[in-house]
């Protein structure tokens, strides 16, 4: 199997008028990995995923997906990738089956009926196939959106907050499904998430974004160790409030205690009522 990165992003910058959403972002995603794009609200995660999908054009920089230059030949890559996002609605008046059929045809899926039957069975949506999408609960819609994103057996799956607004049981079900799916298919997954326990469970690599820049990267366990924390959530909060360290693994107990004291201070704007 090739070890060439599935995604290569170089010096990616995106400006919306006065807002710099991405500021010279560079990263690579290894084949078969599950990589997390983390960052606070407005850090640039959705903008990155949208550019990877060709939904947004960057202001500058280069994006290569599956060896294809996305700015010149994105259609060649789109057939082998897919995405799911709670923020991109499927047509609500169409039934689940109609939705999956429309998208399956768009992707040119062979033996589409069989594929829909198999995916519906796996994702427990067989009973929902003839119901209009707009009548489904958030958890049910998430499973349908995931089915849609797997119709073309994507080599690269982009997921924007795959368990947002799901109850703990439904969220756990989706995470378990993704784990099994990734192991079975060998697909590469890049996901944006605010759920750090989810990222620790699913992801072997993390890209930390802050204000449109990558401020740290590494395996979840390596980041937790480097910041002297117990969980990725604690690392996230530290970076959000204090910024990234420069990989100093020799932080003393006093350093850690100082950081802990600083981390529990609410942001100034919370105090200024
Ligand atoms: N269409 C747009 N027009 C103007 N500004 C935009 C647009 N889309 C995003 N932005 C700005 O770009 C920045 C990054 O937004 P983005 O949606 O990528 O963040 P995010 O990391 O996905 O945040 P969240 O976790 O809140 O979903 C934000 O400052 C946002 O206001």
The residue contributing the CA closest to ligand 1 atom 12 is 21
Ligand 1 binding pocket, CB closer than 6 Å? 16, 19, 21, 39, 41-47
| % pLDDT > 90, the chain | 78
Q: Which atom of ligand 1 is nearest to the CA of 39?
A: 21
What ipTM does the predicted assembly reach?
0.97
What does the mean pLDDT of the chain come to? 88
Q: Give distance in angstroms: CA of 45 to centre of ligand 1.
A: 8
21, 191, 215: which to mutate for ligand 1, most atoms within 8 A of CB?
A: 21
The residue contributing the CA closest to ligand 1 atom 6 is 16
Q: Residues with Cβ < 8 Å from 36, sequence gap 6 or more?
A: 190, 191, 192, 193, 199, 202, 203, 205, 206, 207
9, 14, 19, 215: which to mutate for ligand 1, most atoms within 8 A of CB?
A: 19
Q: What is the CA radius of gyration of the chain?
A: 20
Q: Give distance in angstroms: CA of 118 to centre of ligand 1.
A: 36
The pTM (predicted TM-score) of the whole model is 0.87
20, 44, 158: which to mutate for ligand 1, most atoms within 8 A of CB?
A: 44
Residue 240: predicted pLDDT? 86
The residue contributing the CA closest to ligand 1 atom 31 is 42
Mean pLDDT calculated for residue range 123-139: 95
Residue 69: predicted pLDDT? 94
The residue whose two tokens read 């995470």 is 175
The residue contributing the CA closest to ligand 1 atom 1 is 16
15, 36, 42: which to mutate for ligand 1, most atoms within 8 A of CB?
A: 42
Q: Give distance in angstroms: CA of 199 to centre of ligand 1.
A: 21
Q: Give distance in angstroms: CA of 249 to centre of ligand 1.
A: 33
- Position 237 pLDDT exceeds 80: yes
Mean pLDDT calculated for residue range 18-45: 96
Task: Please name each of the domains of the chain with its CATH number.
Answer: 7-80+154-220 (3.40.50.300)
Residue 246: predicted pLDDT? 55
Highest-scoring range by mean pLDDT, 20-29, 235-244, 261-270: 20-29
Report d(CA 241, CA 238) in Å as an integer.
Answer: 5
The residue contributing the CA closest to ligand 1 atom 19 is 42
């Amino acid at each position: 199997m090739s070890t060439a990165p599935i995604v290569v992003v170089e010096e990616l910058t995106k400006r919306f008028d006065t807002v710099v959403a991405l500021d010279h972002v560079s990263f690579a995603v290894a084949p078969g990995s599950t990589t997390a794009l983390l960052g606070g609200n407005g850090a640039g995660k959705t903008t990155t995923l949208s550019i990877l999908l060709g939904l947004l054009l960057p202001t500058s920089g280069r994006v290569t997906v599956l060896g294809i230059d996305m700015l010149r030949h994105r259609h060649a890559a789109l057939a082998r990738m897919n995405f799911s996002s709670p923020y991109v609605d499927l047509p609500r008046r169409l039934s689940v089956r109609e939705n999956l059929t429309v998208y399956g045809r768009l992707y040119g899926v062979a033996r589409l009926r069989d594929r829909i039957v198999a995916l519906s069975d796996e994702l427990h949506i067989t009973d929902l196939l003839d119901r209009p999408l707009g009548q489904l609960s958030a958890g049910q819609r998430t499973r349908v959106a995931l089915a849609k994103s797997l119709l073309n057996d994507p080599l690269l799956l982009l997921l924007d907050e795959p368990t947002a607004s799901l109850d703990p049981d439904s969220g756990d079900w989706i995470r378990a499904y993704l784990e099994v799916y990734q192991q079975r298919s060998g697909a590469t997954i890049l996901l944006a998430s605010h759920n750090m326990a989810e990222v620790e469970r699913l992801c072997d690599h993390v890209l930390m974004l802050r204000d449109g820049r990558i401020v740290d990267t590494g395996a979840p366990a390596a980041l937790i160790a480097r910041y002297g924390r117990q969980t990725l959530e604690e690392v996230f909060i530290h970076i959000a409030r204090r910024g990234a360290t420069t990989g100093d693994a020799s932080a003393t107990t006093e350093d850690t205690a100082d950081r802990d004291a600083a981390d529990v201070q609410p942001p100034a704007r919370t105090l200024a009522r």
